[in-house]
Chain A
Amino acid sequence: MWHMYLPIAGNSVNVLLILAMGGFVGLLSGIFGVGGGFLMTPLLIMLGIPPTVAAASDSNQIVGASTSGTLAHYRLGNVDFKMGFLLLIGGVAGGTAGVQLIKILRHMGNADFLIQITYVLMLGFVGSYMLMESLQSLRRTPEVAVAHQKDSVYARMINRLPWQTHFEKSGVSLSILMPLVLGVFVGILAAIMGVGGGFIMVPVMVYLLRMPMHVVVGTSLFQILFTCVDVTIMQAHSNHTVDFLLALLLLIGSTSGAQLGATISKHLKGDQLKVILASLVLVVMVKMSLDLLLKPHILLAVIGGH
C-alpha cells in the first residue's frame, strides 16, 4: 500500500514520501526562487531512482512548481518580465555554448574532476559571500547601506555601459548588455555542472544586477520555468529519462509548497532570505565535499550516475 511503480525509473517508490519531498522542495523554491534540483536529485537517487531519470523528472516537476511560484509572485508584484526575458536569452545562448564546451572537456578527459571541483567551489564561494554580506547588511543601518552602494567602483563602471534602460519592477537602470552577458555566464556554468543554475542566478541578480531580493525570487522562478520546459522536452526526446509518474507525484507536493513558500517569503526580509539560502547552499557544499573526501562504500558506479 502507498507504493507506486514508476515505469521509466524502473523502481517502486513510497507515494507519501515523494509527495512530502515535493512539498518541501517546492516550499524552498517558492521562498528562495531556486529550482531545488541541487537538493531533489540527490534525494531521489537515495531512494533508488537512476541519476539520469532523477535529474530529468525533477526538471519536469520544476515546470509545475515554478509555474505555481511565478503566478504567486506575479500577484505579489515580484516578477520583472523584461529582466527575466533578457536573462533567458543570455541563458539559452550560454547553455548551448556550455553543452558544446562540456563535450570538448569530456573528449580531453578528466571532465568529471573539473565539473565536481567547479561545483563545490561555486557553492562555497556563492554561499560564503552571500552569508557574510547578508549578515553584515542585517547589522548595518539603511543609510550606511545606501552610501555604500553609491560609492562602489562597480556601480560607476556599469553606469558607463551603453544601451542603458530602466527596469521598472526591479527599480534599477542598467545596460541591457548586463543581463544578457550574465545570462550567458550562468547558462555556461549551469550546463557544465548539469544543474538549473538557480542558486547561481539568484546571487547574480542580487549582487551584480542590484535587484531587490523579492523581485529576484519571482523573476528567477519565471526564468527557471522556461529552462525546465526546454530541458524536459530535450531529455524526453533524446534520452527517454523523464518519468512522468514520478514528476506528477513530485509536482502535486511542490506546486502547493511553492504557493506556501511565496507567502512565507513575503513575511521575511530580503537579508533574512539571503542568510537562509546561503546556509542551505553551504550545507550542500559541505555534503558534496564530504562525498569527495570520504572513501565511498562501493568503488564502482553505473554509467550515467553522479
Chain B
Amino acid sequence: MSKKMLYAIFGLLLALFPLASTASARLPIHLQLAPAEIEMGLSYQGVDLTISGKIPSNSEVLVRVTGKPEHQKLKKKGRALGLLWMNMGAVSIDNVPSVYLLYPSAALAEIEKNQPEQWRRLGMGFEALRDRVQILPADEDKEKIFGEFVKLKEDADLYGIERGAVHYQENGEGLKSFSCVAPLPSDLVPGEYTVEAMAVKDGTIAARGTTGITAAEIGVTAALASLAFNHGTLYGVLAVLVALMAGLFTGVVFNGSKGAH
C-alpha cells in the first residue's frame, strides 16, 4: 500500500470521527418497563408502571405515556333559560390521545413553569396537544372546550403532568440512569399504550426512546367481557337467572332463620 493511500485512509477516518460521536449521542434510549404487561384480572386496581433507562449526563429526561388517538364525542353543559345548567348540544374532538401522562424531570419542570417559549418548542404538554386536535363544530371556542376536556380527563387520572416523579442516578461513562413511576389508573381501557423517554439538551430533543405496553383483561374478567360483547342475550339471561336465584336463595335462608327462632 502506498504512503499516499495510507494518508487518504487516515484522513477519511479523521473526517468520520465527529459524525460517529454525533451518532452515539443520538442513539435511541433503551427503555425498561416493570411490569412489562398490564394484566387486568379481578384484582387489578391500576398499576404503578416503573419506566427506566439511561440518558447522557448533560441532558434532562422527559417521560411520556400516551394512548391511541381517538374520536371523542362529548355533551356540552350550558345554561337553559339563563338559569338551569344542563346538556346543551354536543361537540367532538378528533385526533386526541385516550391517555396523556407527562413526567418531566425537575429541571424541565422549571422550564415548563418559567420559560413557556422554550417549553412550547419541545411540543409537549396540553397546549401543544390542543394545537394538534380538531374540534367540531369549528365555530366552538377551541381553547375553552379543550380546557374543559383536559379537566374531564384529569379527573379520571388519564391526563396529567406530574412534576418531580423522575429520579436520577449517576452512572459514569457520561451517562446517568433515570427512573420514573407512572401510576396508571384502574379505568384504563384495555389496549396498546406508548411509552417514550426524551433526552432534552439545550432546549431540543437530543435522543429518544420508544416502546409499547399492552393492557389486557385476563382470566374471569376476559371471559365475562367476551361473553357480554359476543353473546349479549345469553349473558343477559344468565345475569337475570343468577339474580333470581340469589333473591330466592336469600328469601329461603331468611325464612329458615326466622323459623329457627
* Residue of B86, B151, B233, B255 with highest tally of chain A CB at under 10 A: B86
Q: Which residues of B contact A251 (CB under 8 A)?
A: 243, 246-247
Asked if A10 is an interface residue, CB under 8 A from chain B, the answer is: yes
Structural contact, A296 and B247, CB atoms closer than 8 A: no
9-residue interface stretch from B72-80, B126-134, B198-206: B72-80
B145 contacts partner chain A, Cβ-Cβ < 8 Å: yes
Chain B positions 65 through 97: 1 when the CB is less than 8 Å from some CB of chain A, otherwise 0: 000000011111110100111110011000000
A3, A7, A64, A116: the one within 8 Å of B244 (CB): A64
Look across to chain A and name the residue whose beta carbon is closest to the beta carbon of B224. A7
Contact of B239 among A75, A236, A298, A302 (CB under 8 A): A236
Specify the chain A residue showing the minimal Cβ separation from B144. A299
Q: Decide if A298 touches B152 in the complex (CB within 8 Å).
A: yes
Q: Known A-B contacts: A63-B243, A259-B251. Give 13 more (CB < 8 A).
A: A3-B43, A8-B224, A12-B187, A60-B240, A64-B243, A68-B250, A117-B84, A236-B239, A244-B228, A292-B84, A300-B76, A300-B77, A300-B145
From A116, A240, A258, A291, B228 is in contact (CB under 8 Å) with A240
Instruction: Please determine whether A242 and B235 come into contact, CB atoms closer than 8 angstroms.
Output: yes
CA distance A157 to B248 in the complex (A): 41
Given contacts A8-B225, A293-B83, contact A248 B242 (CB under 8 A): yes
For the complex, give the distance between the alpha carbons of A256 and B221 in Å: 26
Inter-subunit contact A63/B240 (CB<8 Å): yes
Main secondary structure of the interface of A (DSSP, over half): helix
Q: Is A245 an interface residue (CB 8 A)?
A: yes
Instruction: Kindly state whether residue B17 has any CB partner on chain A within 8 Å.
Output: no
Given contacts A5-B45, A242-B236, A303-B74, contact A252 B246 (CB under 8 A): yes
Q: Which residues of B contact A (CB under 8 A)?
A: 40-46, 72-78, 80, 83-87, 90-91, 145, 148-149, 151-152, 155-156, 186-187, 189, 217, 221-222, 224-225, 228-229, 232-233, 235-240, 242-244, 246-251, 254-255
CA distance A293 to B156 in the complex (A): 24
Distance of A10 Cα from B243 Cα, bound (Å):
21
Note all chain B residues with C-beta closer than 8 A to A3.
Answer: 43, 45, 186
User: 18 A-B Cβ contacts within 8 A?
Assistant: A3-B43, A5-B45, A7-B221, A64-B242, A64-B246, A64-B247, A66-B247, A72-B254, A113-B86, A117-B84, A235-B236, A237-B232, A240-B232, A242-B228, A291-B85, A292-B86, A302-B72, A303-B75
Q: Which of B84, B91, B145 has the most CB of A within 10 A?
A: B84
Contacts of B240 in A (CB 8 A): 60, 63, 229, 232-233
* Nearest A-chain residue to B250, judged by Cβ: A255
CA distance A75 to B252 in the complex (A): 11
* Interface check A153, CB cutoff 8 A: no
Residues of B contacting A244 with CB < 8 Å? 224, 228, 235, 238-239, 242
- Please measure, in the bound complex, the distance between the C-alpha atom of A248 and the C-alpha atom of B243, giving whole angstroms: 7
* Contact B187 A302, beta carbon cutoff 8 Å: no
- The winner among A60, A116, A252, A298 for most chain B CB atoms within 10 A is A298
Cβ of B76: which chain A residues have Cβ within 8 Å of it? 299-300
Question: 5 tightest CB-CB pairs across the interface, nearest first?
Answer: A67-B247, A236-B236, A71-B251, A12-B186, A255-B250
- The yes or no answer to A178 lying at the interface (CB within 8 A) is no
Q: Which residues of A contact B237 (CB under 8 A)?
A: 233, 236
Name the interface size band of chain A: 35 or more
Within A276-306, the residues touching B (CB, 8 Å) are 291-303, 305
Q: A12-B44, A251-B247 are in contact. Are A75 and B255 (CB under 8 A)?
A: yes
Task: With CB as the reference atom, state the residue of chain A lying closest to B72.
Answer: A302
Interchain nearest-CB distance for A14 vs B (Å): 9
- Inter-chain CA distance A53–B44, complex, in Å, is 19
Query: With A5-B45, A229-B240, A292-B85 known to touch, is A71 a contact of B247 (CB < 8 Å)?
Result: yes
| CB neighbours of A302 from chain B (8 A) | 72, 74-75, 152
> Contact at B243–A61, with CB atoms within 8 Å?
yes
State whether A4 and B43 are in contact (beta carbons under 8 Å apart), knowing that A63-B247, A75-B255 are contacts in the complex: yes
Docked CA distance A68–B229 (Å): 29
Q: Which of B156, B225, B248 contacts A7 (CB 8 A)?
A: B225
Minimum C-beta distance from B54 to chain A (A): 34
A152 at the interface (CB under 8 A from B): no
**In the complex where A5-B40, A252-B246 touch, is A10 in contact with B187 (Cβ < 8 A)?**
yes
Interface set, chain A 1-51, CB cutoff 8 A to B: 3-5, 7-8, 10-12, 48
Which residues from chain B contact A8 at a C-beta distance below 8 Å? 224-225, 228
Determine the chain A residues whose CB is within 8 A of the CB of B155 once the complex forms. Answer: 298
